[in-house]
Structure formats: structure tokens, C-alpha cells
A and B are shown apart, each in its own frame.
Chain A
Amino acid sequence: MQAYSGTNNTGFIHRLDARTKMAVAAGVSIVVVCLKEPLPLALIGIMGFFFLLSTGRFRLMALAYLFIGLMLITAAGCAIPIIKLLKGSDASYADFLVPFLRIIATMNVVLAMALSNRIQGMLSALKSLRLPLFIYLPTSATIRFIPVFMEDVRQIRESLKIRGFHIGVKSLFLHPILTLRLMFAPLVIRALRSADDLGMAAELKGIGLTTSSTHHNPTRLGFRDAFTLLFWVLLLGLSLGIEFGPLKEMLP
């Protein structure tokens, strides 16, 4: 994930405001649930795929597709005996298409957002959403601590490796409780201590003296954002039109 990796890209999608990508993901998530015809779902899925391609993170894309493909095949593999049991010789597998298209269409846009958002960009986006302090402060603490915990995990794994204990699939199967204890006990302690320290730091900086904040460097939606939002509104409108409205005759 871009957010986890912290790498820097300057392509079209990377320069979109995080709020735009959130709006696109939210719109697609809601519309695909309403649709049940393959054609409009495929249309959203294909456009979403190009949206995802523009992140340029081909390796991660391939991995995500591989993962979701494996999951869907496993789920379908388990579902087929149930279908046979329920319907016998009348079993039809065509009904897999629509759920799969919904999953792929949603995955494309949310993955595009996850692969192109940078952590600091997310903090700015959160700030620009004008969230109240009681939502902004914990959310920003979560984002701020994700890279810190990833580094902690690396350090703990390495210090255990030096002690002679290798954390991996084998240890997880052979000594699950010990593995969890060795890995997570220091992390929980770290979390509690960091929370105490940062809580005190917040008090000592006078955070919470006012209920609203100012923004010294506000992010503004630009032409790219307007274009992207307009494009997706038209596309989702078209898809809904094909299924429910005047374009219904386009369907086979």
C-alpha cells in the first residue's frame, strides 16, 4: 500500500485530493449494491480498472488481483457443493457473475485510493473535512502510529531472531500462544506508554482549548478533482440509467 510504504509518486491519481478519491469510492460502493445487471457493473469495473492502472503500482495490483482471485475461487469452490446439495441437477453457476463483478468494481476504486493516498495527504484530507477534535485526534493518532508500529514490529522480530526465536508460519503453527505473546506483549506496552505520553503532550500543548481549528495551509479541490468527480458522476449515472432508466433497452 502506498500509505504503508510511504513512497512518492506524482501521477494524475496521486495528485488528486484524498477527498475526491473517497467520494469516488463511496459512490461506486453504493451504486454497485443497487445494480444487478452485468453490463453496467462491467462498465464500472472496466473504468475502475483504468483508474487503478493510473496508480502505476502494477506489482501490487497483480498481487491484489491474485489474492482476490484466490479468495473468490476458494469461496466458489466451497459454494458449488452447497448449490448442488440445494438444487441438485438444476444447479446454475451463472449467478456467480454478478457478485464477482460487484466485488471487482468496488475493489478497483478502493484499491486505487489505497495505492495512491500518502499518509500525510490523508492527514491533510482529514483536516479539510473539518472533523471535530474528538474524531480528528484519534484518527490522526492512528495514521501517525501506523509507520511507527511497523518499525516496532520489525525491531521486535529482529530482536527475537537474535534471541533464537524466528517468527513465521512455523512458529505460528507450532507455538501459537508463545508467538503471539512474544510479538504482541511489547507492542501493547508500547501502545499504552505512547498513548500516555502523547495524551500528556496534547494537554501540554493546550490542544482542546478551543473546539474548532484553523488550517494554515488548506488543501483546495482543483481542476483535476472536478474533472474526476464529474466523470464518475456521469459514469455512475449512466450505469443507473442503463439498469433503471431510459437506457434500459440497451440491455440484452
Chain B
Amino acid sequence: MIRLHHISYRYPFQKEFAIKDLSLSVPAGTITLVTGRSGCGKSTLIRLINGLAPHHFQGELQGEVGVCGSPNHSCSVGEIATRVGTLFQDPESQFFTLIVEEEIAFAMEWRGLPPEEIKARIHEAAAITGIEHLLEHEILHLSEGEKQRVALASVVALHPKVIILDEPTANLDPEATRELARTLDALAARGTTLFIVDHRLYWLKEVATRVVVMEKGRIAVEGPFSILEDEALRKRHGLREAHVENPIHTLPEPPDDSDGIAVSGLSFGFPKKKPLFRDLSCRLPSGAVTALVGPNGAGKTTFIRILTGLQASKTGRFTLRGTSITPDALLKESAVVLQNSDHQLHMKSVRQEMETAYRFGRQQGPFTVEGVSSHLGLEGLLDRHPQSLSGGEKQRLVIACGLLQGPSLLVLDEPTSGLDGNNMHLFAELMETAADAGISVVLISHDLELLSRVCHFALHLKQKAPHTVERPQRRHAS
């Protein structure tokens, strides 16, 4: 179905080849997982199969790529798209409309399919991806998992023979990840060839036909999923774990006698909506990392917004290290690292970015620009433009800016989505550094490996009747 024959590819103005003499053959109806450390050439491989390289990115290509027997070099990207569908990491980046049904129909309409056929395909794709009940919904109001299914449905409706998925689980919670694995298995059973590039491995254990591990533009190892059981291999190639236990239910609740930030008597709900919190009391210990967990709609974001003073609440009492504190004062004590680092980078150089964060912050605490940049490995990048950094470097810069504010509370929202094993571990070390400096670190994440690796406590927010839940086991002492 997919055949790459002695492929070498180099992007324009680059000395190094991103892919070097790579040959690969993928049979129809199989699920292939491609993994490897960041920069190993996985994304380039996808672009070669869907035709973006070299048609869109240009550059130099040697060898031949063929899908369904047709060579890619003689077809436009649009023609290749009639055989190959691609699902991006961030589903929102590929939506053209605002309503689910319109989105699934969009590409079919612009390909000139008859209206009756479009309607039939919409319902077929919605049934396969389990979104029949969402067809009339607004896309922007859906959860990340639902958005991912809508994006997949819009690809499936085009009836491609091959579907490429680029980091499909980066933004998904564990339940949505399991659901996606089931859907992909069903698609493969219908004869669709699936080509998945991902850093997260565990979710494909039951469904992947074959695993390809890449290193420096070449295939390093390939075989069944069981090759990933080898810890030495995973370490050698900077991979994540092959099996992950959900740590949420084994992490202890923050102890009542811990110092740090304490919330008591917090009740909150949006007008005309069910209350999110009733008389909520909890603690976020200083010097520890606390996972904030709960299902979609449990109010994790709202809780953080109240805690950082962004959302006003008439109820609730807040104390910091035993002293009562107002929400306005809490705002000055907080730093937040969002998932989208682009939203938090404003200046012309890494140095300016860090200096501005320090200037606007409390200008106290143990961190200085020189100290933080040296500790986080940013000292060689100080004169670079923040937007020219890699994803992992940007995340490090954003957390550096957070530390330079000198906060008592550091909130991180999905900081490791899309990061490989090495970068994830590096990030975990940064969080430990922050906790060691006496900061209350709060982590909102679906990344089970990160939660396992770094969290000391878990604060559970439950839908409808939110409260903290006592958990029996304790993994780390603060």
C-alpha cells in the first residue's frame, strides 16, 4: 500500500538530509506505529507519504515514494490526497467550519461530490467515529477527544486508502485515547491502512501490527510491538514507556497539615449552570507537585482561574503559608504555564523575554535570569528569537519565565503534550527544581507518564459533587 524505496530527502537551505536512504513497505489494512526521539525524521516521513515533501516544502528528494501503486512525484498533493488522508496533532488546525456536519462535508463539497453521496458519507463516517450525536454541535464547544473524532470523521468520509495520524493522542485524556485505539482498530478491519507517528506508545499495544523506531533519518529497529518492551532500546532511542499504569488513583491526597496554599469553603457556579464546587476545601502543599485531576467539565480550569485570582468568587477563604490572602494578592503570587507556549512569548530575544518576566514579577525569590538560564540549559540561546526555538526549548523558556516571576504557586497546563521521552524527563526535572525551591506546583495533565514520574499528590475534582478524596496509598513524601 505504501512503498518507500531508497528515499533520501533534504529540506531547502539545509546541509543535512532529514531522511537518509530509507526503504519501507507497509501492507494494506495494517497499523504501523512510527516512533523515535524529536528530530529523528518522523514528521518528514509523513510529509513524504502525503506529498507535502517535496511538493509543498520543496527541497531535494532521491528515491521513490508510492501509495496504492502510484508514484507521488508525478501527482499533486491534492491528487495524492484522494488516496491518503492526514490527521494533524491539533485537530483545530485543520477545521474550516464551525459545525460538525459542515466540517465533515466541507472537503467533499469542494471536491464536487453529489449532495446525496455527501449525506450518506457523513452518516457513515460519523457512525465509524461515534459522533452521530454531535453532528449539529458547534466544534469549538467540544472536548479535545470529540474534536479529534470530528477531524478523523472528516478524513474517513473522503474514503482514503491510507490514513496518516500525526501525534493523535497528544491532547487526549486516557478515555479518549482508548476510544481512538478502538476506532482505529475498526478502520483497519475495514481495510484502511493506518500509519501513526506518536511518542506515546502504550495505547497502541493491542492494535499496532508493526513498530518502526527511527534515529537520525534512518530506521533503527522494526518489528512487532513487543520490541518496545526492551528498556535498553527505549533508553537508547529516547522513547517513552511501552506500558503505563494510571497513577491517579494511587497518588495520595495532599495532607491537611501541609503548608502552602489552602482553600476553604469555596462554592462556585456560573450563572444558569449547575454549581461546580460546593464548600470545597483543599490544600496545595509547598515544595511538592500536586496533580489536579478530574473528568472533563469537573471545573479544573475554573478552579485554577479562581485560585490565581482570574475568576472572581464571592465565597472561599484562601491562605498562603497560614496567612489569609485576597484573590488579588494571589494573582501576584502565581505563575501559569499554558499548553500553547506561543501565547506566552512576546519579545524579540530569549534574554528580553526572561528579563521582562522578572521585571513584571515580584522581583524576589531565589531565581535570577543568569541562574535560571544556566540551570535550564538556555544560556546558549539567550540572543535567539523565542519563536525560532524548538518545541521543547520554548516550553523550557516559558517555565523559566514562570520561575523568574518568583511565584508561590506555579500551575502547568498540559506542559508535555508532543514531547518525546527525553524531553518529558527533562521537564519533570524542571518541575522538581521548582518544587525544591518551595513553590506549590500544580499540574493539569493527561500525560500518565509525567504524572507517574513527578507528582507527589493528587487533588481530585469530581463532576457534580466536587470534593477532595482521601486515597489510601502514598508514593512520595514531600
Contact = CB atoms under 8 A, between A and B. Distances in A.
- Asked whether any CB of A lies within 8 Å of a CB of B in the complex, the reply is yes
Interface of A: 6, 119-120, 123-124, 127, 133, 140-141, 143-144, 147-148, 151-152, 155-156, 158-159, 161-165, 181-182, 185-186, 189-190, 193-194, 197-198, 200-210, 212-218
A212 B336 CA distance: 47
Contact of B93 (A133, A197, A206): A197
A180 B357 CA distance: 16
A204 B47 CA distance: 10
Interface in B8-32: none
Interface string B107-139: 111111111001100100000000000000010
Interface centre among B93, B119, B122 (most CB of A within 10 A): B93
Interface of B: 50, 52, 56, 77-79, 81-82, 84-86, 88, 90, 92-99, 101-102, 105-115, 118-119, 122, 138, 140, 154, 158, 308, 310, 331-332, 334-336, 338, 340, 342-347, 357, 360-362, 387, 401, 405
B361 A206 contact: no
Contact of A163 (B82, B88, B154, B360): B360
Interface of A: prevailing SS: helix
A212 B112 contact: yes
Nearest to A203: B77
Contacts of A156: 343
Contacts of B340: 155
A140 B344 CA distance: 28
Nearest to B335: A162
B304 to A, nearest CB: 10
List the 9 closest pairs (A to B, CB-CB), nearest first.
A164-B360, A201-B94, A205-B107, A197-B93, A216-B118, A206-B81, A210-B112, A203-B77, A206-B78
Contacts of A194: 93
A119 B98 contact: yes
A181 B346 contact: yes
Nearest to A182: B346
B311 to A, nearest CB: 10
Contact of B109 (A152, A158, A164, A215): A215
A221 B95 CA distance: 28
A200 B342 contact: no
B53 to A, nearest CB: 11
A214 B343 contact: no
Nearest to B92: A148
A197 B105 CA distance: 19
A147 B98 CA distance: 10
Contacts of B96: 140-141, 144, 198, 201-202
B117 to A, nearest CB: 9
Given A197-B93, A214-B109, A159 B336 contact: yes
B118 A214 contact: yes
A133 B107 CA distance: 12
Contact of B111 (A147, A186, A206): A206
Contacts of A200: 52, 56
Contacts of A198: 93-94, 96
A210 B346 contact: no
B114 A214 contact: yes
A159 B332 contact: no
Nearest to A157: B310
B458 to A, nearest CB: 24
B97 A140 contact: yes
B39 to A, nearest CB: 19
A215 B111 CA distance: 11
B338 A189 contact: no
A150 to B, nearest CB: 10
B78 A214 contact: no
Given A186-B343, A214-B118, A159 B338 contact: yes
Nearest to A192: B387
B194 to A, nearest CB: 16
28 contacts: A119-B98, A123-B98, A123-B102, A124-B102, A140-B96, A140-B97, A144-B96, A159-B336, A162-B335, A162-B336, A163-B405, A181-B346, A182-B346, A186-B342, A186-B346, A197-B90, A201-B93, A202-B96, A204-B50, A204-B81, A204-B86, A205-B107, A206-B158, A207-B110, A209-B82, A214-B109, A216-B109, A216-B115
